[in-house]
Amino acid sequence: MSPVRAHFGVLGFAFALTGCATAADPCATLCDHAETSFSACLADNGETWGTSVGYTSEGDFANWCSTWVWEQEQLSDTGAACPAREAIVDDGTCADWYTAWGDTP
């Protein structure tokens, strides 16, 4: 095979690989960030995990959150829903949190 043909073969393979790349899942980190943020809000309000806050434990919250993410993937545009929630989780106040998620302390 000529060097030119070999070169184009390698380039073609490289372009084929870039076509397989997928965008990052906008919901991939949401639940981890949300759990950390919600835990901080609980502490700010003098509360702990338990039925009075709607989640008996961090694991219960993680199950709820992963179910919410799954629902978003099935029913709506996660490209908008998850980043909007993550912005609140990362940059919002506890009041923003409770408003966005429909939870009240």
pLDDT, tens only, 51-73: 788 889 999 999 999 998 888 77
Question: Residue holding tokens 């509360």?
Answer: 47
Is residue 30 over pLDDT 60?
yes
Region class of 70: left (phi > 0), else alpha (psi between -120 and 50), else beta? alpha
**8 Å CB contact between 33 and 90:** yes
**8 Å CB contact between 53 and 35:** no
In a domain, 49, yes or no: yes
How confident is residue 23, by pLDDT bands cut at 50, 70 and 90? low
Q: Number of structural domains, the chain?
A: 1
pLDDT digits (tens, 9 = 90+) for 85-105: 888 888 878 888 778 776 544
Range of the domain at 36: 25-101
Q: Tell me the average pLDDT across 5-30.
A: 55
Amino acid in the structure at residue 85: R
pLDDT the model gives residue 77: 60
The whole-chain average pLDDT of the chain stands at 74
